[in-house]
Amino acid sequence: MMITSAVIFDLDGVLTDTAEFHFIAWQAIANKLDITFDREDNEKLKGVDRENSLKYILAKGNLVVSTTEFELLLKEKNDQYLTLIDEVNPSHLFDGVLNCFTVLKKSNVKIGLASASKNASLVITKLGIEHLFDFIGDAASVANSKPAPDIFLSVAHGLKVSPKNCIGVEDAVAGVSAIKSANMFAVGIGDSKVLTQADLVFPSMSEFDFKRVETAFLLSAT
């Protein structure tokens, strides 16, 4: 029996290594403000939108800035991020992604994108995979960002499928929480000790095995 109607993917850190570029750009901002920002901090920011990420960094440094300065810092971070992704091309797709999409298409499973990034369209165009998605969510149009379920629910709606027939794929703690709050089956990409809320975890996309996912999904639904 097939219960999966759609698989909804996060972008940064799932389909390509842009999570590292977000880290580099945030670390540069934190350094400039004399605030320590390490990979442990970054783990908490994965999947978190731009404004809330800056709020986290400022709070960590007990720093209060004016609205104008806040906006300038956001722009500076994004400008650096845009410079870092300038070179992104189809060779930067993680191994296993195209193969996974082929398997899903052969199984008549729809493919959605649920990224918190306002740069998501640009990145997937650079990766050359825009045409493979049945629906691409718009981070700017949802009320609440991850860990709220909004972006995953809006993509399920756009795909015209029920959330209970969707699988979400995420590398971030906040993202996995968003999938679970949307009442979807959550596949984590990364470390199972970090992505504790996920129903199933693969170390990387090259290990993503749709048959295993479907079996675990079916078992969880019975």
- Three-class HEC string of 39-78: HHHHHHHCCCCHHHHHHHHHHHCCCCCCHHHHHHHHHHHH
Instruction: Give me the sheet containing 110-113, strands edge to edge.
Output: 135-136, 110-113, 6-9, 166-170, 185-189, 200-202
Q: Name every residue whose Cβ is closer than 8 Å to that of residue 170 and which is 6 or more positions away in sequence.
A: 10, 14, 47, 176, 178, 179, 186, 187, 188, 189, 195, 198
Cα–Cα distances (Å) from 87 to 82, 90, 97, 124, 222, in that order, read: 10, 10, 19, 13, 46
Footprint of ligand BG6 on 28-67 (CB under 6 A): 45-50, 53
Give catalytic status of residue 199 as yes or no: no
Asked if residues 200 and 216 have their Cβ atoms less than 8 Å apart, the reply is yes
Tokens of 25: 């750009």
Instruction: Please select the residue that binds ligand BG6; options are 4, 16, 27, 115, rule is CB under 6 A.
Output: 115
Shortest Å distance, C-beta 45 to ligand BG6: 6
Amino acid at 42: N
> Angle 150-159/173-181 helices, nearest 10 degrees?
60
Q: Which does 22 bind (CB under 5 to 8 A by kind): Mg ion, ligand BG6, none?
A: ligand BG6
Tokens of 156: 């399920």
Q: In the complex with Mg ion, which residue's Cβ is closer, 51 or 71?
A: 51
Shortest Å distance, C-beta 89 to ligand BG6: 18
Instruction: Please select the residue that binds ligand BG6; options are 5, 6, 16, 22, rule is CB under 6 A.
Output: 22
Q: In the complex with ligand BG6, which residue's Cβ is closer, 11 or 178?
A: 11
Of the candidate spans 33-41, 58-66, 165-173, 182-190, the one that interacts with Mg ion by CB under 5 A turns out to be 165-173
Give catalytic status of residue 10 as yes or no: yes
Q: Which does 145 bind (CB under 5 to 8 A by kind): ligand BG6, Mg ion, none?
A: none
Footprint of ligand BG6 on 149-188 (CB under 6 A): 172
Of the candidate spans 7-15, 25-33, 143-151, 211-219, the one that interacts with Mg ion by CB under 5 A turns out to be 7-15
Shortest Å distance, C-beta 211 to Mg ion: 24
Residues that bind Mg ion (CB under 5 A): 10, 12-13, 171-172
Residues that bind ligand BG6 (CB under 6 A): 11-12, 19, 22, 45-50, 53, 78, 115-119, 172
